[in-house]
Structure 1
């Protein structure tokens, strides 16, 4: 495996691990489904995500 390919793999892994890629995917979906609406900032997204998780408490094990 060459160095460039290895670095891309590490970068992908870290983005998935930190949730950065999840926000990027959310932005893409948001732009596709709501083209005229402004895209929420990363902080706004985190608030929305937390609220969604708290309201769907039946999906948690504890």
Structure 2
């Protein structure tokens, strides 16, 4: 049972990294570590900031998918 849990945990981690689902978690950890007094944006605000930054980057261009 323990090895099954470990395997499922590894699959979950891999999928979250692959889909960049963990980006918000990394961002929150970064803000709390480097700027403990700063307000942590909500997940929705974070995704909006990330999308705006990607669309504004002339090297990447706008991607719909």
| TM-score of the superposed pair, with normalisation by structure 2 | 0.76
Of structures 1 and 2, the one with the larger relative CO (CA 8 A, separation 6+) is 1
Structure 2 residue runs of 5 or longer lacking an equivalent are: none
TM-align CA RMSD: 1.8
Q: Secondary structure at the match of 1:58?
A: coil
The separation in 2 between residues aligned to 1:19 and 1:42, in whole angstroms, is 13
Pairing 1:26-37 to 2, within 5 Å after superposition? 26-37=27-38
Partner of 1:8: 9
User: Partner of 1:57 in structure 2?
Assistant: 58
- Between Structure 1 and Structure 2, the one with more helix by share is 1
Distance 1:21 1:46 in 2: 12
Please state how far the C-alpha of 1:18 moved relative to its aligned partner. 3.7
Within 2, Cα distance between the matches of 1:17 and 1:42? Answer: 18
The number of aligned residues is: 60
